[in-house]
Amino acid sequence: MTATVTLGVEEEYLLLDERTGLPVPRVSEVMAAAAQEPWLGQDEVDDELLQAQVEVATPVCTGLDEVSAHLARFRQALAAAAHHAGCRLASAGAGPLPSGPTVPVTGKQRYREMRAEAGRLVDEQLICGMHIHVAVPDRQAGAAALGRLRPWLPVLVALGANSPFWDGRDTGFASWRTVVFGRWPVSGAPPFFADATQYEQRVDALLATGVVPDRHQLYWHARLSEEYPTLEVRAPDVQLDVQSAVTLAGLSRAMVATALREGRRGARPLDPPASVLEAAGWHAARHGLSGDLVDPRSGTPAPAAEVVGSLLDRLTPALDDLGDLDRVTAGVQRLLDAGTGAARQRAALAEGGIEAVLDLIAPGGREPSADASARELPAQGAPAREGSMPHDSVAGA
């Protein structure tokens, strides 16, 4: 049996101007308004790298019902706070419109140093993800579990894809956020780790180069938390809706629980070459669920639904023990049937133009914009397909 495995979820959101739909640096105003919301705790809302982003973090949760309730509460209360500040809360991995003037970094020394070091790359970090922290017994077990779940992280990238647009154009990718994050020195699939010693040796070697200034800039799709006794899964974009977010949280918890169980049993881990996983992650970001995925067991392409089904089969014992099997299975089927956030954004564009996209990613009333026609993405109304347009808290940074 799988004992209760606690988890927590972080979500990042964009702040978009109510009138123009452009990213707007009003996080201070939103946080001030959020402090007056009775449904938000003092330490549940935080700023992020850029001043057009805001982050939330759930308390430690024992079940998916708790995760769902917290995320719904956050989204509703923060949307109200954003409205007070003249903006809208957008749950998308990237905004659909050109960013306009450069959004300044938040006034923290670490962020200022990142801006000085990485320049334009930091300017383009208007991307939002969800991070799932899953409890592990210790770093030894956590590092070994990280090595065992590593081959399946590209599947989470595909399921969680929700950033098809960038700078006013369709990127042709389902998760452009994954591509932007891939520009950092340490990103993508983590290396294979057999134990905590290997993990620490690899991290120490990276820090010794001077290229990576601190452990918070290890932007792998999953890593060990430095603040909490958790394994942190960072692969998905922030989700359009709470139900999708809860589905990915449940999958991530089951992935960690399965990896821990396999470690206790001494099962031989699957260890694809790093180059194969890199290609698989890129392909998942490109296509989402709209085509094939790379099956981590064979390293060859297979229909996305088949690879996702293989992951569910692998996780079924843990999902069953955790009481999540029916909920997560139904949530995954919904993503396969209705499409990822990226597919739904493209469908909204085809059906109703950019205003429909903004209503999808940032629900809530806004003033009609006099210059709405100037904000239309190219090829409005084109078929919703890939490339249809031209070009206690578990918070941890």
pLDDT in tens, 132-184: 999 999 999 999 999 999 999 999 999 999 999 999 999 999 999 999 999 99
CA proximity to 52, closest of 95, 2, 8: 95
Q: Reduce the secondary structure of 261-328 to three states and give it as a string.
A: HHHHHCCCCCCCCHHHHHHHHHHHHHHCCCCEEEECCCCEEEEHHHHHHHHHHHHHHHHHHHCCHHHH
Q: What is the pLDDT of residues 82-129, one digit of tens each?
A: 999 999 999 999 999 987 788 988 888 888 988 989 888 888 999 999
Q: What is the pLDDT of residues 313-336, one digit of tens each?
A: 999 999 999 999 999 999 999 999
Tokens 């003033």 correspond to 367
Query: Is residue 155 exposed (0-12), middle (13-18) or buried (19+ Cβ within 10 Å)?
Result: buried
Q: Are 19 and 97 in contact (CB under 8 A)?
A: no
Q: What share of the chain is helix, strand, coil (3-state, %, to 5)?
A: 45, 15, 40
HSE-CB for 171 with a 13 A CA cutoff? 28
Residues ≥6 apart with Cβ < 8 Å to 144? 193, 194, 195, 259, 263
* All domains of the chain in start order, with CATH: 7-364 (3.30.590.20)
pTM of the model: 0.91
How high is the mean pLDDT of the chain? 90
The end-to-end CA distance of the chain, in Å, is 33
For residue 224, pLDDT over 90 is answered with yes
**Calpha distance 199→186 (Å, rounded):** 14
For residue 367, pLDDT over 90 is answered with no
For residue 247, pLDDT over 80 is answered with yes
Structure tokens at 88: 């809208």
Check the CA dihedral 282-288-290-296 and report its sign: positive
HSE-CB for 331 with a 13 A CA cutoff? 23
Residue 43 pLDDT? 80
Q: What is the pLDDT of residues 372-383, one digit of tens each?
A: 333 455 443 333
**Calpha distance 379→350 (Å, rounded):** 9
Structure tokens at 231: 């394994």
